[in-house]
């Protein structure tokens, strides 16, 4: 187990591109799998499971946004809109046609991908801040459409109730049951993205991000690959929307506002742009941060502040921390939590020969 290399010795492309470059990585994955499948559901209370479930949903969305923003370099602040497209598509199919989850989830994703392609069309001509504003517009257009077209929104307060997902006749309702349901999709998203990024399409994305003119010159059809990026990314967002819908038992577009889009951007910035692990870490960090701040202050802040002060302090402190952390990471560690992890890992990889 504890073996350390004394350098990087790779003799083939296959070895360079392997998912698990070291045997220890295989062991780590096996260990993590045992932890998340076996230990966590037994050890965690329902409340912690709830937190973890929200992290898992956020992981799918953050990875999706990471494909577009982190890997392809196209900024989007309209991801909340794509999530509501997925949510309402699935909710309507579930309620009207009684589709099971294994059809509703891809259907929601595909509809979001379709809308994502339309939104992505301007990306050939416009870049950076201009593209951001175009995606922002899509966010508002989608919100407006759902709010005003009752055929989509179902009529009452623009929300559609859906029954819980059922597997082989089992209704998944408790936090632990939903945990396995969500874990499946989170793992699927992680594995799919890791492999996507090792493929021709993934390399094209990265080439476009690094220098789009150069990418075009070496023969990458920029327009097509940018649309691929938008489609795949919105597919993930759509699936996130459906998972949310199943998790909450309700599709409601007010949950997918502009603040959600910003939150997801924060996740991938803090986690580290252009890495799957970064998206996972960022999603976990941003989801847990407000709860951790609150519990920390309510349990340990009593010595310094009165209860009333704590109540007023907590929500605002969370916002300050949120903004402060984004600035902190942008300045001090633009590659985010992912880079911190890599630093630690690389230190031990060649240990004790750290240079």
Position 144 contacts another protein (CB under 8 A): yes
- Of the candidate spans 111-119, 194-202, 224-232, 313-321, the one that interacts with another protein by CB under 8 A turns out to be 313-321
In the stretch 77-116, what mask flags binding to another protein with x, by CB under 8 A?
------------------x---------------------
The Cα-based distances of 85 to 242, 307, 349, 350 in angstroms read 9, 42, 44, 47
Position 151 contacts another protein (CB under 8 A): no
**Which residues in the 180-239 window bind another protein by CB under 8 A?**
none
Q: Judged by CB under 8 A, which of 98, 151, 332, 352 binds another protein?
A: 332
Q: Judged by CB under 8 A, which of 9, 168, 299, 327 binds another protein?
A: 299
* Cα three-residue angle 283-84-240, rounded to 5 degrees: 35
Position 304 contacts another protein (CB under 8 A): no
Position 166 contacts another protein (CB under 8 A): no
Q: Tokens 């003119």 map to which residue?
A: 213
Position 177 contacts another protein (CB under 8 A): no
| Of residues 106 and 290, the one with the C-beta less far from another protein | 290
Please say whether the beta carbons of 332 and 324 come within 8 A.
no
Please say whether the beta carbons of 188 and 82 come within 8 A.
no
Position 54 contacts another protein (CB under 8 A): yes
| Of residues 95 and 222, the one with the C-beta less far from another protein | 95
| Of residues 51 and 183, the one with the C-beta less far from another protein | 51
The Cα-based distances of 308 to 180, 301, 313, 314 in angstroms read 39, 11, 9, 10
d(CA 201, CA 187): 21
Which sign does the torsion angle of CA 230, 236, 239, 244 carry?
A: negative
Position 51 contacts another protein (CB under 8 A): yes
d(CA 230, CA 118): 9
Question: Which residues lie across from 160 on neighbouring strands?
Answer: 251
Please say whether the beta carbons of 82 and 115 come within 8 A.
yes
Residues that bind another protein (CB under 8 A): 45-47, 49-51, 54, 95, 143-144, 147, 153, 156-159, 161, 163, 173, 175, 247-250, 252, 254-255, 259-260, 287-300, 307-308, 311-312, 314-316, 318-319, 332-333, 339-340, 343-344, 347
């Amino acid at each position: 187990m504890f073996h350390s290399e004394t350098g990087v010795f790779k003799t083939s492309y296959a070895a360079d591109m392997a998912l698990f470059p070291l045997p220890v990585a295989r062991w780590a994955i096996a260990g993590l799998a045992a932890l998340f499948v076996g230990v966590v559901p037994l050890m965690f209370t329902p409340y912690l499971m709830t937190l973890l479930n929200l992290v898992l949903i956020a992981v799918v969305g953050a990875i999706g946004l990471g494909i577009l923003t982190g890997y392809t370099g196209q900024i989007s602040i309209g991801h909340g809109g794509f999530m509501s497209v997925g949510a309402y598509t699935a909710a309507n199919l579930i309620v009207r046609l009684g589709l099971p989850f294994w059809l509703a989830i891809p259907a929601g994703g595909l509809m979001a991908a379709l809308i994502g392609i339309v939104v992505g069309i301007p990306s050939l001509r416009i870049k950076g801040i201009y593209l951001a504003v175009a995606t922002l517009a899509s966010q508002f257009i989608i919100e407006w459409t759902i709010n005003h077209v009752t055929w989509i929104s179902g009529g009452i307060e623009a929300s559609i109730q859906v029954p819980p997902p059922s597997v082989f006749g089992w209704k998944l309702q408790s936090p632990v049951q939903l945990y396995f349901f969500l874990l499946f999709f989170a793992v699927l998203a992680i594995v799919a993205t890791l492999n996507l990024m090792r493929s021709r399409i993934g390399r094209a994305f990265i080439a476009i991000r690094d220098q789009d003119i150069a990418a075009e010159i070496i023969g990458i059809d920029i327009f097509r690959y940018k649309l691929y990026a938008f489609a795949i990314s919105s597919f993930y967002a759509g699936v996130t929307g459906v998972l949310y819908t199943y998790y909450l038992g309700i599709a409601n577009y007010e949950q997918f506002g502009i603040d959600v889009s910003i939150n997801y951007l924060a996740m991938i910035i803090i986690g580290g742009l252009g890495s799957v692990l970064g998206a996972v870490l960022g999603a976990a960090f941003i989801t847990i941060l407000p709860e951790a701040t609150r519990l920390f202050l309510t349990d340990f802040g009593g010595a310094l502040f009165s209860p009333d002060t704590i109540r007023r302090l907590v929500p605002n402190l969370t916002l300050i921390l949120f903004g402060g952390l984004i600035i902190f990471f942008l300045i001090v560690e633009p590659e985010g939590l992912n880079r911190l992890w890599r630093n630690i890992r690389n230190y031990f990889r060649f240990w004790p020969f750290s240079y």
